[in-house]
Amino acid sequence: MIRRERHELWMRRALSVASTSPSDVPVGAIVLGPDGAELSAAGNERELTGDPTAHAEILALRRAAAVRGEWRLEDCTLVVTLEPCTMCAGALVLARIATLVFGAWEPKTGAVGSLFDVVRDPRLNHRPEVYGGVLEPECAQLMRDFFR
C-alpha cells in the first residue's frame, strides 16, 4: 500500500474516533506502532472530564505510552483529524513521535505551520516527519458541522 493510501486509511479511523465525542469539539487521534498496529485512540474529553488538557492527541499519547510501558514513542505515528495546537505539538515532539499525519488545518491555533511551527523548530531535539491535509475536506467538514 502506498503512503497516501495508508495515511487516508488511518485518517478514516481517526475520523470515526472523532465522531464519538458529541459534546466536545470532534477531534480524533490514533497512535500507531512501528508495525502500523493501533496502540491507542482518543477523542477530545475536555467537556467530559473538565480537564483543559484532555485533547485527543494528549490522551492518545498517554494511552499509547501506557500500552508500550514507556514514554518514548519513537517509531510511532500520530494521526489526528485537526492540526495540533501548541500544547499537543509540544507533547508529540517530547514523546519522540516519528511521524505526524493530520487532516484539517487550524489557522487560529495550529502549531504545525498555520500559526506556529513547533514540530519543525530546529532548536528542539526532535522533529517528526509531517503530512498535513490528509482527507482535509472530510476533516474540515466535521468541524464546520459541529460549529453550526
Catalogue the active-site residues: 57
- Residue-averaged pLDDT of the chain: 96
SS3 percent helix, strand, coil of the chain, rounded to 5, is 40, 20, 45
Is the pLDDT at 72 greater than 90? The verdict is: yes
Pairing of strands 28-32, 99-104: unpaired
pLDDT at position 106: 97
- Rounded to 5°, angle at Cα 112 from 135 and 41: 55
Q: What letter represents residue 96's amino acid?
A: R
| DSSP string of 2-36, one letter each residue | -HHHHHHHHHHHHHHHHTT-TTS---EEEEE-TTS
User: Is 55 annotated as contributing to ligand binding?
Assistant: yes
User: Is 88 annotated as contributing to ligand binding?
Assistant: yes
Is the pLDDT at 54 greater than 80? The verdict is: yes
Whether the model pTM is above 0.85: yes
